[in-house]
Amino acid sequence: MKQEEYSLPPRTGVIRDFDGYTVGVKVGMAFIYIACALIVIVSLFPIIWVMLAGFKDLREYMSSTAIIPNAFDFSRYTKTWTQLSVTQNYLNSLYVIIGCVLCALIFNGLLAYGLAILKPKGHKIVNSLVMVSLLIPATISLVPLFMNIQNFKLGGFFTPLWLAAGANAFFVILFRQFFQSLPSSIIEAGRIDGCSQLQTFYKIVLPLSKPICVVVTIFAINGAWSDFLLPYLVLGGSKWQTVMVRLFIFSTQQTINYDDLMRAVVFSMIPPIIIFFIFQKKLTENIVTVGIKG
């Protein structure tokens, strides 16, 4: 075979391969690269500054404005970790995340399955109520939600947080939009084979909905980890405090040192950063997939 058959086809995007030989395109690309580099530096600088500030003791933190600490003493991080009982708080946040992800996928998916595929009587009214609920700020519904939690005696454990994640209008809309794009012939084939409505959902619809399930999972993890107000109202004062609740309580203590607070902030940032680097490609790919029907 000729050598040309092994060569890759030319790229035909906004900037094509042969456009790179012109001076104007080269200058424009250089400007874009410089702008992107500046954005990355500005975005990462606060994170790097907090991490480096955690290596300083209180005297160095209060007297020095240098970014680089005098010594990289990891024992200070170990001391703060033990002082805050971060291991237990990590486990509590992990329990919250697991329950929120399961409830977000099952309950919101079931409601969207009914609205998009089953379409019982009154489904348009329910769909309208779901859309209207997006216009209601979460802080307005917090008071009646907390009163219901107290009336049903659900405080002091993770159950209200799990149920709240299972009643998310945004997730319902994402699921409904994706379910409407699924081929109806596959669902009908499952019913012909004798699947019940629930079996159709668990054995056919969910396996075909992996892209939207990944998106909802990432949003649920991020929301469960960073949520503070409802976990504080439900879990404050108990042994089941999440990382964010423990961080707030730690910051309000009179004996708190600012260097310890910096290290506590670093502990709260590590899991979201790891999750972002693991799922960043998956998130962008699946968001694009969800936005395309057919």
Mean pLDDT, the chain, whole residue set:
81
Decide if 103 is inside a domain.
Answer: yes
Average pLDDT for 106-118? 91
Assess whether 43 and 84 both reside in one domain.
no
Check residue 20 and give its pLDDT: 62
Assess whether 118 and 180 both reside in one domain.
yes
Assess whether 100 and 219 both reside in one domain.
yes
* Total domains present in the chain: 2
Q: What is the largest CA-CA distance in the chain?
A: 78
Judged against a pLDDT cut of 70, whether residue 226 lies above it is answered with yes
Decide if 180 is inside a domain.
Answer: yes
Domain that holds residue 91: 78-290
Nearest to 227 by CA among 97, 86, 46: 97
Decide if 66 is inside a domain.
Answer: no
Judged against a pLDDT cut of 70, whether residue 10 lies above it is answered with no
Check residue 254 and give its pLDDT: 63
Decide if 62 is inside a domain.
Answer: no
Report helix, strand or coil for 183.
coil
Distance, CA of 90 to CA of 82 (rounded, Å)? 12
Report helix, strand or coil for 242.
coil
Judged against a pLDDT cut of 70, whether residue 286 lies above it is answered with no
Distance, CA of 236 to CA of 245 (rounded, Å)? 7
pLDDT in tens, 142-162: 888 888 888 888 878 888 899
Judged against a pLDDT cut of 80, whether residue 167 lies above it is answered with yes
Assess whether 154 and 26 both reside in one domain.
no
Decide if 159 is inside a domain.
Answer: yes
Decide if 207 is inside a domain.
Answer: yes
Q: What pTM, to 2 d.p., does this model score? A: 0.78
Check residue 36 and give its pLDDT: 92
